[in-house]
Every structure is written in C-alpha cells, then in structure tokens.
Structure 1
Amino acid sequence: MTTGEHTMADAAAMRRALELAVRGPARGVNPRVGCVILSPHGDVLAEGWHRGAGTAHAEVDALAKLAPGAAEGATAVVTLEPCNHTGRTGPCAVALIDAGIGRVVYAVADPGEHSAGGAERLREAGVAVEAGVLGAEVEAMLDDWLFAARHHRPRVTVKWASSLDGRAAASDGSSQWITGPAARADVHRRRAAADAIAVGTGTVLADDPALTARDAGGGLVDEQPVPVVFGRRPVPAGAAVTRHPHAAVLLEGADLAADLHELQRRGIRSLFVEGGPTLASAFLAAGLADEVLVYLAPALLGGPRLAVGDLGISTITGARRLDFAAVERLGDDLLVVAHPRPTEGN
C-alpha cells in the first residue's frame, strides 16, 4: 500500500477510535485520543483510549490488552499521531515499534513542540505510516486542544452585554440587567462550555461576581469553568469568587500573552472573558480575541459607560475589522457573534 491510500477498514476503525477518544476527559493538558488495532486481515484485535494525565496513552492502553507478539504485523489506527517524547509515560511511537506493529494510520499530526515526530520515528523503524484519515472529523473533536497546542494559548472569547448605543451600564454604574433572561441563560451555557472564565479586579470589586455556570433552575452545572482574575488589586477575602468550586487563578494582566501561555500550561484551552470594559478592551487592543460575543438590548442609555474603551485607534483606517459569524434572537435581545479578520502575516 502506498502513502495516501487507506482502506474501508481503516476508515471504519478510525470512526471507532473517534468514539473511544471522546470517552476521555474533555478538559486538561492532554488530548482525547482513541486507538484501534487491526489484524493484517482487518479484524479488530484491541481498543484503547486515553483516560487523562498520568494514565496510559491510547496506543499503550490498546497494546496492553494483547498477548505478547499478538500485534506483530498489525495496523494501529489512532486519532492523533503517536507521540515521540517521554513525559509521565514513554513514547507511544516506541511502544508500537517494540510491539511489532507493521503499519500506523492516524488522523491529525501532533502539533506539540516536544511530542511531535512520532510518524518520522515510526518510518525510520520501517513501519508504514498513513496520515489524514478522517482528519476533518478528528480536527473538530480536538478543536480547542489543537488550537491551544498550536498557538500556545487558550482560544479567547470576549463577551459583553450592552444597550443599542453601546453602553455597558447607566451613568450611575448600574448594569443589572441590561439584557433579559434568555440572553443570560445563553451566557451561562457558554460559560459551562469554556475551560475558564475571566474578569478584571475592577469587576470583582464592583459587582462581586461568582463566576459560575448555572442551569435553567439556578443550580450549579457539574463542570464549572476555572475562575481567572486579572489585575494587581487584591481580591477581598469574602468575595464570591473565593467560594467558587475551583480556586481562582490570579494574574497581573501586565503581559496578556504571557498570562495566556501560563493558562495553557495549566491545561486551559478556552477562556471566556466577561468583563469589564477595561479587560475586554485590553484583549481586543492586544489582538488576542478570537471571537467576540455582543448581547444587544433594545435600549438606550447614553452617558460615559461604554462597553469597550480605548483600543489605541486614532483613525478610521485603523479600525479593527471583524466578520459576522451569526446573529441570533434571544427573547427581546440580539446576540451578535463575530470573528476578527486575520492581520497581514497571520
């Protein structure tokens, strides 16, 4: 079989490997990976998946279910390129070679600085390697993890709610509630889907947010985003965020790129930036917002409390242009989803 060819058995096994992969934890440093080992005749010999940091990788999990020598000449079908480094566990590429695997099929290349290179190592050992089988499906499943691994930071969503004239609060500072219950429920759904939720210390001091995700009945959802607070001012000992199910991550915010790298190092793949205007503006000005969510209420407030502050733009030609991805009606309000356009060189 030449490079670029794969069989129906390969595709079927990759779909099964994808089903196995999603059994693993959706959050954390490690990706979700599944593996199916096929005999030379295409029969399934073993299956495995990665159960989280410190546990056997999918390939090793599958190999462990086989008797010595049973993998000789077999095909390993894996959702992610077998790793080529030693961390808490050894290199999967070496484990496959030592087991006598004759062929490896994978969907997506490993983008890790230290873990990539498994395919090359396998080829050097005489193992046939086929890449890209069901690549789009596996890319979609590993979306947040791949983004974080490739960019060395979480994917950042910046959200705000405002009146139709762009105000986040009335002149006296009151802001609850600009938008209605349907919009607020949508925010909680998106909070629950994020690894972490961020505000600035100004918002903590002014609004005392809990930074939790809640269901329709007001109860805490099972999987809570990690609270992140940016700023130099101390968080009061009795602040609501101190009672969050997860300990808050405190970052100064002076170097957002470095702070995001630290969050990625901690296993945070997606960050939901909620406020306030100072923090939202900082992410936008730094070009670190990958998605913008604007909840628009059919109301006018006027006054100085803008949803977004100074972005360092002095002329219309310097405007940060975005592309609309979606517009959705939520009760009386509108949700506008937009993605910043890539700048030259990106």
Structure 2
Amino acid sequence: MKEKVVLPVIHSQNYKINKEEALLIYQDMMLGRSFEDMCAQMYYRGKMFGFVHLYNGQEAVSTGVIKALQEQDYACSTYRDHVHALSKGVPPQEVMAELFGKETGCSKGRGGSMHIFSAKHNFLGGFAFIGEGIPVATGAAFQSIYSKQVLQSTEDIQVTACFFGDGTTNNGQFFECLNMAVLWKLPIIFVVENNQWAIGMAHHRSASTPEIYKKAEVFGLPGIEVDGMDVLAVREVSLAAVKRARLGEGPTLIEALTYRFRGHSLADPDELRSRDEKAAWVARDPIIRLKNYMLVNNLANLEELKDIEDIVHKQIEESVDFALSSPEPDIKDLRKYLFADDKI
C-alpha cells in the first residue's frame, strides 16, 4: 500500500524584496546547486573520497537563513555542509580544494567533506555526528552575549545560525541547548532542515510529535514552521528571527520543510523513498520557484538570469581547476594544526 505524500501548504505572498536582493539570492542558490552537481561528477571520477552528502533541493534554507545574517555573524553546520559554507562566503575554490584533500582547502585538506571550516568567515564547521554542532553553536552565541553584557562591547550582538536535520531533534543536545538558550536569552537561531528522512528513517516514523517547531513551546521560545522550498518565505522568518536575536530577545526555532533530491550520501542508492514522493517534491524545486517568481514580478528577465548562470558555471569550473592544480598536504605536516598555536 502506497503511503500518502504530504507536502506543506503553499501560500502565495507578495514578498518585500528588491531586484538586487533577488538576483543575489538567485546567484547564491545557483552556486550551491551547481557546486553540488559538480561534486557528484568529481566523486564518481575518483577525485573525492569518503562520504559526501549533497544538498540538492535544500538551497532555499541555506540561502534564506544565511543571507539574512551579517558578515560578523556565525553559522554552524552538519555533515551536509558545502552549501552552508558557500552561502557564508567561503570561496568555492577553497571548498572544492578541501573536498579534494588539498593543502589549499579551507581546512588545509584535513577536514574533507564533513568538516568544512573557516575562521575568517565565522563558519564554525561541519560535523560528522548528528547534534554535534548544536553545543558549539550555543557556545558561540554565549560568547556573543557575554561580550555585549560583560565585556561591554559597542558592536552589534553577533547572531549564530545553527543548522541540523530532523533526525537530530530526538537527541539530548537539542533539548539541553534549547533550554540553555532560552535561560540566557542567547542570540541563536535553531534551524531544523526537515528533509523528511534521517538517512533511511522517515521522519513521521521516528517522532512521536512530527511537528518539530511545536517542541519550542516547552522551553518558551518561538517555534515557526516555514515552507523550506520557498527561499523568500525562509528569508522573511529568518530576518525576523535575526532581528529578535540582535535586540537581545533570545532564540528562535525555525522548522523548514524541505527535501533532498539525492540519496543520503553519494554512496546511498536511494531505494527507500518512493518515486511518487520524490517527484512531488522535485516539482517544487526552490530554484525554479524563485526564477518564476522573479519573472512574474518583473524582478529579472531571462537574459539577466542567464548571465548569472554563466557566472556561476565559470566559478565552478575555476574551482575544479584550482583544486586539481593544488598541492597535496606534505607528510611532514601530519601533526600540524592539531593545536591552537597552528592556526588555519
């Protein structure tokens, strides 16, 4: 018996966005999608090793949240971290080189796909284990509020965006950090990328309360459900959450209902999800939806969008050339960067 495919309700809205913002958002989403498509090619050509988890289909969440942040704000990711890093400003050539295990990678070739990190861009890293990044992000948010309240910093409060999947929300770190964030009014946005599947486990089969955003009520912070296939909807709730955090009013939990178009990783044959389910979500591709919205609302024309796509494709090609031509880490540096004195 086929299971019913349940999708979030689509609400048509007139979003407050100008042409320049819309084009930047479109370019960021195109960069994320094109980068991941190239990763798949490089992986199957033997240029990448280990597990590689792609982000195709979820671009509206990364772009919608991270592009609502300021440069000095923090982002903390998961093992599906390439696109988060790109949205935060880490150059694509440095991310690609990291995936190739090269010395020029943003983690000097030591991290690989699941451990993208950039201190320069306040990107706190990808983490191989679920829930691992939530305490790190909570710590970053604590230092932000400590700097403001105790050290009397005159700068704006730095906001932290913490990304994790639906499978993480049944883990202890999630509940513990929600409690601490509310207790201390930390400037953090907890972003649940509910792509409906935790590896091979359907979300509705593993959660007694499938509506994750409702768990926020227990701890006293706002819980918001948003269509994670609509970048402008994600952007609106993110801007409100960032403003709230920056004003010292505390954390927000955002549950973005989204879907990954590929298997859990590139080693996953993706045989557990039904064709009907995948087709229903692919039909709501967030990039195509944004493109249509921009055309209908005269925010761009086809020529302008084609120019952006050409720019992105050139960036991706250059990132591959950079990674291929970059040196391997030297064996004599095997223990380098293990301690704080060896800064990346």
Q: Same fold (TM over 0.5)?
A: no
Higher RCO (C-alpha under 8 Å, 6+ residues apart): 2
TM-score normalized with structure 2 length: 0.27
| Pair member with larger Rg | 1
Instruction: Pick the structure with more helix per residue.
Output: 2
User: TM-score by structure 1 length?
Assistant: 0.26
Q: Which one has a larger percent strand, Structure 1 or Structure 2? A: 1
